[in-house]
Structure 1
Amino acid sequence: MTADPPRVVIADDQALVRTGFAMILGADGIEVVAEAADGAEAIDAVRRTRPDVVLMDVRMPGVDGLEATRRILADHPDPPRIIILTTFDLDRYVYAALSAGASGFLLKDVTADRLVSAVRMVRTGDALLAPSVTRRLVERFAGRDEETTLHRDLSTLTPRELDILRLIARGLSNTELAARLHISETTVKTHVTRMLSKLGLRDRTQAIIAAYETGLIVPGSGTPPE
C-alpha cells in the first residue's frame, strides 16, 4: 500500500519562491497545506495544519527561520521534519538550525527533482545532508556560538556505540560501518538507533554535530583527539 503523499508548509518571505516551490511539489502530487511569509506565520501554520515537512527560509523578517525552527521543534511532541532553505551552503544560520534539529538544507536554486526527492526523503525520517557537507559546516562553525552548541553526555554510550558515532561523523554509511566493524547491517542499525536515543538526537546529521561539539572528533582533523 502506497503511503499518503507528504503534507508541506512553505515558509519564505519571497512570494515567487513560495509559488514556484508549491507548483513543483503540487505537480508531483505533494500537497502544500499552507504558505508563510515569515517565521511567526510558519509557527502558526504548523500548529493549524500539522504538516509532515516544512520548507523554512533561514533568513526572514521578524521571527527568522532559526527561531521558528526552534519553536516548532520544542512545541510539538511529534514535530514535522524541517528543511532549511538558504542561498549559501556554508551559512552559520544553517549550522545553528541543524543543531536545533532541522533535518537538512537546500539551496534555493535546487532543481525540481531534488526538491521533490528531499521532501520525500526527510518525511521517512532520513537526514537530508551528505555527511561530507555536514562536516564542512561543523568544521567551520562548531563551537563559535555557545547558544547553539550541543551539550551531550557521551558517558551513556557503550564502547561500540562510541565507535559507531565516530565512524558516522567520518561519513561512513551503514554498509561501510558493517564492513569496518565486521557486524551485520541490521546490528549497525540497532546500534545507531540506540545511540541516537541515548543522546536525544533525531538523525545522523545531529549525530555528526554532536561528535564534533563534544570533542569526540576534532574540527579540522576529521579524527578523534589523542
Structure 2
Amino acid sequence: MQAAENMALGKTQRGGPAAVMQSAAEANERAGFTSHSTATHIARDQGVTVSESTVADGNRIITEAIGDQVLAQYATPEVPTRASGAALGRDQSTIGEALEATALSAGDKAVDQRDAAAIYAAEARASATNEIKPGGIGSRAQSAATQNERTTFFSDKITISDVSGDATTKLSDDKPVTREDAEGIISPEIRNKPDMRTTPGGVASSMAAAARLNQSK
C-alpha cells in the first residue's frame, strides 16, 4: 500500500491507510503474530490500488483498495503543481487572508480538533521559523476546540470566525500560500476524520483556493 500511495500520490499519506497498516503490521510483528515477509493472499493475488479522479467542484477523490475491498475514499481540494514559493509575487493571497476567508465561508462552524489542527499548521507555515508562539491563533484554536468539547449548547461554542476573523493582524508572520502550504494544511484537517474529507469552506479548502488563485496570477 505504501508503494501504491507513493506511485499515485507522490508520498505516503500521514494517517492514511498505508500508515495505519504499517503501524498495525509492526505491532503484530512485535507481538509475534506475523513475520516481516508475510503477505495476505488478497494483496498478493488481487493487488493493491490507489486511484485518483477530479470532480466538478475541483476536489480530488482518492480511492485506496486491496482487491475489490475499498479501504478508504476521501476528497481533498485540488492544488496547483507548478508553483513554488520563489515564484510568488507580493500581490498573492496570503495564509492570513485565507484564514480570514474561512471566517466568512465557514465562520458559523464550531471549532473542533481538526479545524484547530489545520489552523495550527497554517500558523506554523506562515511563520518564518516554522514555530508557534504561545497565545497565537493556533493556540487559540486548540483552546477553543477543547472548550467546545465540554460545551453543550451550540450558542455557547467558539466558532471559526471567532478564532480566525482577524488572522492577518494576529499572525506574527505571513506569506503567500503555496502548493506545499496547502498540502501541509490539508493533511491535519482530514487526519482521523471518518470520511477523510475536508470541511466545505473550511481552512484546507480556503488554502487550496488561495494556492490556485496564486498560481493563476
TM-score for both structures, normalised by structure 1: 0.26
- Say which structure, 1 or 2, has more relative contact order (CA 8 Å, 6+ apart): 2
TM-score, normalised relative to structure 2 = 0.27
Of the two, which has the highest radius of gyration?
2
